[in-house]
Chain A
């Protein structure tokens, strides 16, 4: 098997050309998936025997929480790749992911808080899961702040990579917080490797929602990466040709 495609991934030009047409179909597919998930989850799935209809917010809460953590994990990996191999695409990826991840963490916190009011009787508790996701949101904010505050681009890229690698420390805390501590927050509801603990009629829309959210992330991040590539490579010849022949 040839690994040339993997090495080429490091080149902004190759990436731009190769994946130029991808975001739009991905975005449509994501919208379709999310729509199916929302209609199925919000209207068709049976109400929970304990929580009634209020459990339906799970179809926003769980996907966004999963995405918030996945995005951070990928940022940490990209940061490490940049620090070790200095690959040009890594900081572009970092810059594209950070706001999306921050948004996901915010949605997870917000929907969790709205869900907490009818089930726990409170908007917010200082338990480990909630606090560590709040820390995750602050980490995203810190990375975005670093990227925008440092004028010199190479320094900003390095700094963002360093912070995202160091911040990986927080991920196991989030992951195991519901197992290490006795908290109000329930254990993991969603796992690919184990048989689902809830009925199929509830679990399948959740699966659709998670897949749809991943597709949405892929589409949005690719779009943002293309914008960032154009910003960084504005002076290069290939981009001029590209814009002249195809438009933006």
Chain B
């Protein structure tokens, strides 16, 4: 196994199991639909709440898709192969996460113009929202991967994983939504963006290592 063959195999896997990606995108859309129907469907409420709704739905969709990130690999023995392959496990983790992030985040970004019309998102906060999603969803994936690796050996690990990881998501969501809030009232929003970038860099360094440690502990 080399890094390239690993990447190709993972690409094939994601493509063969397209239903997983489609499911999480559908889940994302359904959560978004819940808010106008459940709270208030008037443009006045929605234009204020749009970015928050999109962010909450994105975080939940990512959480559900990350939950099973290593499940199949654990059950079919692939994780053991990672450990004995002689390749660096953190880099394998990073490759897998990057790939999954691409497959989940790209549909979300493509849907964003439609959603922002439907939710009456003000025009001046579309690009800030876009940038915040590009910048912060990788951190959600990286942190979620840790929880997924920690609970991979449990039969019912989903709830536990959400319990561990969701508190870590909250700061990211707070800063991400404050980007669009600042943009809506015409304030500069580079400070929360800088903090999001800092969180992304920290999790980029820490998360693959921690995920690898958890995988090694789980596989034994």
Binding between chains A and B:
yes
CB proximity to A under 8 Å, residues B96-142: none
Binds B, one of A116-124, A164-172, A196-204: A164-172
Please give me the residue from chain A that is nearest to B175 by CB atom: A173
Shortest distance between the CB of A163 and any CB in chain B (Å):
5
Residues of A within 8 A of B170 (CB): 131, 135
A166 touches B220 (CB 8 A): no
Interchain CB contact under 8 A, A170 and B146 = no
Q: Assuming the A-B contacts A138-B166, A149-B160, A162-B146, are A169 and B217 also in contact, with contact meaning beta carbons closer than 8 angstroms in the complex?
A: no
Q: Which of B40-48, B82-90, B182-190, B206-214 contacts A (4 or more CB under 8 A)?
A: B206-214
Q: Are A162 and B210 in contact (CB under 8 A)?
A: yes
Q: Does A227 contact B (CB under 8 A)?
A: no
Within 8 Å by CB of B217, from A145, A158, A166, lies A158
User: A170: nearest residue on chain B (CB-CB)?
Assistant: B171
Cα-based distance from A132 to B202 in the complex (angstroms)? 19
Taking CB as reference atom, which chain B residue is nearest A173? B171
CB-based contact A135/B171 at 8 Å:
yes
Q: Which of A138, A154, A166 contacts B146 (CB 8 A)?
A: A166
Question: Which residues of B178-220 have CB atoms within 8 Å of chain A's CB atoms?
Answer: 199, 202, 206-207, 210, 213-214, 217-218, 220
Chain A residues with CB below 8 A from B151, complex form: 149, 159
Residue among A143, A163, A165 with the most chain B CB within 10 A?
Answer: A163
Contacts of A163 in B (CB 8 A): 146, 150, 164
CB A176 to nearest CB in B, in angstroms, measures 11
A10 at the interface (CB under 8 A from B): no
A155: CB under 8 A from chain B?
A: yes
Distance in angstroms between the alpha carbons of A142 and B151 in the assembled complex:
12
**Chain B: which residue is nearest A126 at the CB level?**
B174
Looking at the assembled complex, report how far the CB atom of A177 sits from the nearest CB atom of chain B, in whole angstroms. 10
CA distance A152 to B150 in the complex (A): 12
Chain B residue with minimal CB distance to A159? B150
Within 106-143 of A, Cβ neighbours of B (below 8 Å) are at 128, 131-132, 135, 138-139, 141-143
Whether A131 lies near B174 (C-beta < 8 A) is yes
Does A44 lie at the interface of the complex (its beta carbon under 8 Å from any beta carbon of B)? no
| A145: B residues at CB distance < 8 A | 160, 163-164
Please, which residues of chain B bring their CB within 8 A of the CB of A131? 170, 174
State whether B206 touches A170 (Cβ < 8 A). Answer: no
Inter-chain contact A158/B214, CB cutoff 8 Å: yes
The answer to the question of A146 belonging to the interface, with a C-beta cut-off of 8 Å to chain B, is yes
Other than the given A154-B220, A166-B143, 19 more pairs (CB < 8 A) read: A139-B167, A143-B164, A146-B164, A149-B151, A150-B153, A152-B153, A154-B217, A155-B153, A159-B214, A159-B217, A162-B150, A163-B150, A165-B210, A166-B168, A166-B210, A167-B168, A169-B171, A170-B167, A170-B171
What is A's interface to B at a CB cutoff of 8 Å? 83, 128, 131-132, 135, 138-139, 141-143, 145-146, 149-150, 152, 154-155, 158-159, 162-163, 165-167, 169-170, 173
